[in-house]
Amino acid sequence: MFHKEGHKIILVTLIIVVAAFLLTDSFVTIPWLSTLLMIVFLMFLILILQFFRNPKRFTHRNADVVVSPVDGKVVVIEEVFEKEYFNEKRLQVSVFMSPINVHVTRHPIGGKVLFSKYHKGKYLVAWHPKASEENERTTVVVENPTYGKVLYRQIAGALAKRIVNYAKVDDTVLQGEDSGFIKFGSRVDLFLPLGTNIKVELNQKVRGGETIIAEK
């Protein structure tokens, strides 16, 4: 299954690769070079298909847990001052996605969307300390009875050129359902209340919609 954000890109890539195969077969007369080029074109198509894959995830919805919004590796667990929405200290957990990770963003908790905003910005590498404030990004705040207000931020990386965010203010969202997509390399920051019981460690690999980030 492929994410809807990739349908157009996959179709265009397929057309280009088929055309490249035909041109290579017609005009490249050196057998080994023809084979090499076809392998390169095929690998490019496979990479695009892999990037836009949307595997089914089984989220056991539970208001007492926060699940990972994305696949990737935990790169930050620290207390920070969040100044866009809360203007107070929060516990930040960040997950970095490489280009080969699934890039679907999922709601880490269920509840009501209180805030949803898109910011234009730079394309610093996603692990850069200033990426959270200076890169292209979207910020979403969802409130539920257990954790109160939880903020999560999609951040574009050096390769990402478009962030898609489905969350709209006053929406009621379900834990684990699609909340957006980031194209080609990125990061998601979670901002949780101080004292939250974090269940992951630095450098731990997580799966969106399934791995428990925090638990009451």
- Mean of all residue pLDDT scores within the chain: 87
Active site residues: 186
Whether pTM > 0.85 for this model: the answer is: no
The pair phi, psi for residue 31, each rounded to 5°, is -55, -50
Report the percent of the chain where pLDDT is more than 70: 89
Which residues lie below 8 Å from residue 33, measured CB to CB, with a gap of 6+? none
Q: Which CATH architecture has domain 65-215?
A: Distorted Sandwich (2.70)
Which class for 204: exposed (0-12), middle (13-18), buried (19 or more C-beta within 10 A)?
Answer: middle
167 pLDDT more than 60: yes
User: Nearest-CA neighbor of 154 among 129, 119, 199?
Assistant: 119
117 pLDDT more than 90: yes
Specify the higher pLDDT residue, 13 or 49: 13
207 pLDDT more than 90: yes
User: Nearest-CA neighbor of 95 among 72, 123, 77?
Assistant: 72
State residue 122's pLDDT score. 65
